[in-house]
Chains A and B, each alone.
Chain A
Amino acid sequence: MSLTITPGATESKSIGLREAWGEQLVALGNDYANLVVLDGDLANSTKADLFAAAHPGHFFEMGIAEQNMLGVAAGLATTGYVPWISTFAAFVAKRALDQIRVVIAQPSLNVKMCGAYSGILTSKTGKTHQSVEDLAVFRAMPHVVTIAPADAIELQAAMTAMMEDDRPTYLRVTRDATPVIFADDYRFEFGKARLLRKGTDVGLISTGVQTVRALEAANMLATEGVSVAVLHVPTLKPLDVDAICEVAAMTGAIVTAEDHSIIGGLGSAVAETLSEHLPTRMRRVGWQDTYGESGPNDALLEKYGLTGRHVANAGLEILALKAPSEALAE
């Protein structure tokens, strides 16, 4: 086996991801004179306001006009600047999509498209602001690197790596505080998945903040005597095909977990990969082809089937489908 465990956090704490994003923009702005931020009148929500205060000359308010904002970013990119976009995932992935396609993705211009308030946890704003399909949209676009970090440590490490990379990139940013799972010295690598736990019965493959719930699920399953592997996939594109196949080979049963539609996101990416390389029984935990609604976080996760318990139950379900001899042998 070539996959090794990525070291976890040494202490238990939660850090707000949008705060981590804003603070890292400020830090990167100190190091890179060509970093600029374009905002769609949401800086105090996304926390780009921290950058606006620290680097006012490199902050450009674009107003509530996302199509123009993405086009302006393309123009700035041709003059040597690296624009970072501050708006919500729901808007950047759809409202300005043709602009992204024609003037950013097709000419492969270096624009960092950040989707704040991604997934279902959007502070009670409801379905208009919940992005159920952003990963599917960007993963389907040639040239666009697609990243969904699990915690503040990985988010900031990814941002640092993005400044050293010249590809157009979509970065998914969750709004709320999330438990830290990676050690402080974590180094982000494009296209590299992270094994967080070894196991032989079921493999949980997760992306974004759902990796926190996949780890919860692994703990629940362990108390039932199930040996669980957890693989975190921060970049949906490029995808770590080898790591996914290795976890499938290790376990023979896969559950994917994502705060996103099961259509087009991680679940699809893993299914596509395994059906070509190593057909493996799967369950996909995520939004089941539906839009969301307003509500408290816990209630949303429960209703839409995104809790750790949902992931664990999917694990038990797929385990029961394994051939009896296979299950007994273990």
Chain B
Amino acid sequence: MSMIEFRSKPNTATTELERLSSRARQLILETVHHAGAGHVGGPLSVTDILVNLYFNRLRIDPEQPGDPGRDRCILSKGHSSIALYTVLALRGYLPVEELATFDAIDSRLQGHPDLRALPGLDMSTGSLGQGLSPGIGMALGARLSKLDFHTWVILGDGEIQEGQIWEAAFVAHRYRLNNLTAIVDYNRLPQFGWPDASGFTRDEPIDDPGGKFAAFGWNVIEVNGHDHEALTGAFDAATAHEDGPTVIVAHTVKGKGISFMEGDYNWHATAPNAEQLAAAVAELEGARS
């Protein structure tokens, strides 16, 4: 499927979204370095998606995290939690300094998102393949209460190997949930991999996710998941689609933004040491200036 180039007028300037993405990436790396452990590759691949949603799309108010009319966002790939916490911090849901408590005892920032721990989270996730179903429940709840909020669910390309995703895909289409959008973070790099003719391959966890969702009746949009203008256009198109749910297949790069992390599976869940952190921050700062 060819990629569609979306161009639109963003609410937040594209340059500002790019600046926020860079800032988020730096905070992610600093936090994981500080914690001494954590996922890196996946959080960096989903950063732009989260920044665009939280700063340019979601109808939310950090002062009213329980507002029944708010848009919902579920990070189904819960092991990228640090990316979500970072974006929530930048958006005003928690102090940026609190990121330093990530993974620590008594922290609101659990290794995987805990609905009851931190206001601003819309669902607990972590056991993969589970996020789309609660999204359907929220979309059905919106319809039943005649509320016009939209529900967004971010899926990893690895977790869509889970059968529950396709149970959910079937049901979301069956109910023609046009108030539900799934975004696949298609970074093509799983934790381990598969045997193949050459012996072993990591590329890719699932081929042509868009085609599979299309077969289940979904509206499919393919987009560059690191291009803010394109993401904005894709989100516009998803919310404008009236006949059922939309999936946005966001083509991304694991470890995006740091040259020595991009596309390298070794950075799936490795904390950068001080030297690596300094090099990464220098790259981000260089790109910002």
- A99-B133, A102-B127 known; A71+B164 contact, CB < 8 A: yes
Contact B137 A71 (CB under 8 A): yes
Contact B134 A103 (CB under 8 A): yes
- B109 in the interface, Cβ–Cβ < 8 Å? no
- A26 in the interface, Cβ–Cβ < 8 Å? no
Chain B residues contacting A299 (CB-CB under 8 Å) are none
- B65 in the interface, Cβ–Cβ < 8 Å? no
Closest chain A residue, CB of each to CB of B117: A107
Chain B residues contacting A99 (CB-CB under 8 Å) are 130, 133, 164
Min CB distance, B39 to chain A, in Å? Answer: 18
Min CB distance, A121 to chain B, in Å? Answer: 29
Min CB distance, B58 to chain A, in Å? Answer: 16
- B142 in the interface, Cβ–Cβ < 8 Å? yes
Closest chain B residue, CB of each to CB of A67: B164
- B125 in the interface, Cβ–Cβ < 8 Å? yes
- A67-B163, A108-B116 known; A76+B141 contact, CB < 8 A: yes
Closest chain B residue, CB of each to CB of A83: B137
Contact B126 A79 (CB under 8 A): no
Contact A72 B170 (CB under 8 A): no
Contact A67 B144 (CB under 8 A): no
- A68-B168, A68-B171, A75-B135 known; A102+B124 contact, CB < 8 A: yes
0/1 string, A80-119, CB within 8 A of B gives 1: 1101000000000000001101110011100000000000
Q: How far is the CA of A99 from the CA of B167 in the complex (A)?
A: 13
Count of chain A to chain B residue pairs whose CB atoms are closer than 8 Å in the complex: 111
0/1 string, B101-130, CB within 8 A of A gives 1: 000000000000011100000111111001
Contact A75 B171 (CB under 8 A): no
Contact A107 B135 (CB under 8 A): no
Contact B141 A70 (CB under 8 A): no
Which of A81, A98, A102 lies in contact with B125, CB distance below 8 A?
A102
Q: How far is the CA of A168 from the CA of B31 in the complex (A)?
A: 35
Closest chain B residue, CB of each to CB of A108: B116
Q: How far is the CA of A135 from the CA of B126 in the complex (A)?
A: 26
Contact A65 B115 (CB under 8 A): no
Min CB distance, A64 to chain B, in Å? Answer: 9
- A63-B174, A71-B168, A107-B124 known; A77+B145 contact, CB < 8 A: no
- A72-B137, A75-B133, A81-B144 known; A106+B174 contact, CB < 8 A: no
Chain B residues contacting A68 (CB-CB under 8 Å) are 132-133, 136, 164, 167-168, 171
Q: How far is the CA of A119 from the CA of B145 in the complex (A)?
A: 37
- B138 in the interface, Cβ–Cβ < 8 Å? yes
Q: How far is the CA of A1 from the CA of B116 in the complex (A)?
A: 42
Chain A residues contacting B130 (CB-CB under 8 Å) are 67, 71, 98-99, 102-103
- A36 in the interface, Cβ–Cβ < 8 Å? yes
Chain A residues contacting B139 (CB-CB under 8 Å) are 75
Chain B residues contacting A77 (CB-CB under 8 Å) are 137
Contact B133 A71 (CB under 8 A): yes
Contact B140 A107 (CB under 8 A): no
- A57 in the interface, Cβ–Cβ < 8 Å? yes
Taking CB atoms and an 8 Å cut-off, the chain B residues in 165-184 that contact chain A are 167-168, 170-171, 174-175
Q: How far is the CA of A81 from the CA of B124 in the complex (A)?
A: 18
Chain B residues contacting A257 (CB-CB under 8 Å) are none
- A312 in the interface, Cβ–Cβ < 8 Å? no
- B68 in the interface, Cβ–Cβ < 8 Å? yes
- A297 in the interface, Cβ–Cβ < 8 Å? no
Q: How far is the CA of A72 from the CA of B142 in the complex (A)?
A: 13
Q: How far is the CA of A69 from the CA of B137 in the complex (A)?
A: 9
> Which 7 residue pairs across A and B have the least CB separation, nearest first?
A75-B137, A71-B133, A79-B141, A75-B134, A65-B167, A68-B167, A76-B137
The residues of A with any CB-CB pair to B shorter than 8 Å are 36, 57-58, 60, 62-63, 65, 67-81, 83, 98-99, 101-103, 106-108
The residues of B with any CB-CB pair to A shorter than 8 Å are 68, 114-116, 122-127, 130, 132-142, 144-145, 151, 163-164, 167-168, 170-171, 174-175
Told that A63-B167, A71-B136 touch, could you supply 20 new A-B pairs with CB distance under 8 A? A58-B144, A63-B170, A65-B164, A65-B167, A67-B130, A68-B167, A71-B164, A74-B123, A78-B137, A79-B141, A79-B142, A80-B141, A98-B127, A102-B125, A102-B126, A103-B124, A103-B130, A106-B116, A107-B116, A108-B116
